[in-house]
Amino acid sequence: MHVTPEVTPIPCLKDNYAYLLRCPSTGLIGVVDPSAAQPLIKVLRDKGWGLDYIFNTHHHWDHIGGNEELKKQFPSIRIFGHQSDQGRIPGQTDGVQDGQVVRFGAFDGFVIHNPGHTSGAITYVWGNAAFTGDTLFAGGCGRIFEGSPQDMYFSLHQKIGLLPPETRLYFGHEYTEKNLQFSLDVEPTNHKAQELLKEVSKLRSEGKFTTPSTISQEFATNPFMRTTELEIQKRVCELEPDADLSPVSVFRVLREYKNQF
């Protein structure tokens, strides 16, 4: 009995990941965030697979760029996104909301609504795999385009962060190496981040992926998940001496600093 769909990362564009999903018991195929159609069509052809579902995490062009072409090739496909993204996600057939069950083959998953990067940003969870789009990355988080630091903090800590520690995180961009360099800038004595950066730099020099991460890895190495650490708070005081040290305020200062890092 499988608890999680089979997941294959497909690199797209410069540093995006689309994720191909397969349900072993039904043979159904889905894809999370097809940035571009061609890399997916090639893999589907090679494997002799069709495509039944697109699951979009948010409406940005580099996550939905393949929707229209894939819909042309597979006309009966269902396309999921947050209900508020209707009109912003091409070809959307299903609007979902926080906590809603999303069935993929034999797997009953669910959706977490995590606004901040965009107002309709969502994470899909099936078994112990979570697809976070541009909200939570390995070592970092997305920019805040449609929301407040408070929204993003709440999405990361009170929504995604409540998933079990062993949950695998499949994120939208290969930013891990740069993110960990930032992590060590604000928390230089974090030994787990030091070790991970070494591993990640090796993987990248060999052209390998750093996806997936896990919830526990993020709490150990991602400064945006570690806003109550003294060393990070000290760094925030240097960056913005007037900032209060509430978790949301620390998060805001880190996020603004990262925008220029």
- Least separation in angstroms between residue 58's CB and Zn ion is 6
Number of residues that bind Zn ion (CB under 5 A): 2
The beta-strand segments (E) located in 74-114 are: 78-82, 94-96, 101-104, 107-113
Q: Mark whether 113 is an active-site residue.
A: no
x/- site string to Zn ion, residues 93 to 132, per CB under 5 A? ----------------------------------------
Catalytic residue (choose from 33, 52, 60, 82): 60
Which residue in 134, 151, 174, 218 binds Zn ion (CB under 5 A)? 134
H or E element, residue 67: helix 67-73
Q: Which of residues 44-83 bind Zn ion (CB under 5 A)?
A: 60
Q: Examine the residue annotation and report whether 59 is marked as an active-site residue of this protein.
A: no
CA dihedral 195, 203, 66, 81 (to 10 degrees): -20
**Nearest to Zn ion of 132, 217 (CB atom):** 132
Question: Residue 110: beta bridge partners?
Answer: 101, 125
One-letter amino acid at 91 equals G
**Residues near 146 by Cβ (< 8 Å), separated by ≥ 6?**
115, 116, 117, 118, 119
Catalytic residue chosen out of the listed positions 59, 82, 113, 117: 117
Active site residue 173: yes
Which positions lie near Zn ion, rule CB under 5 A?
60, 134
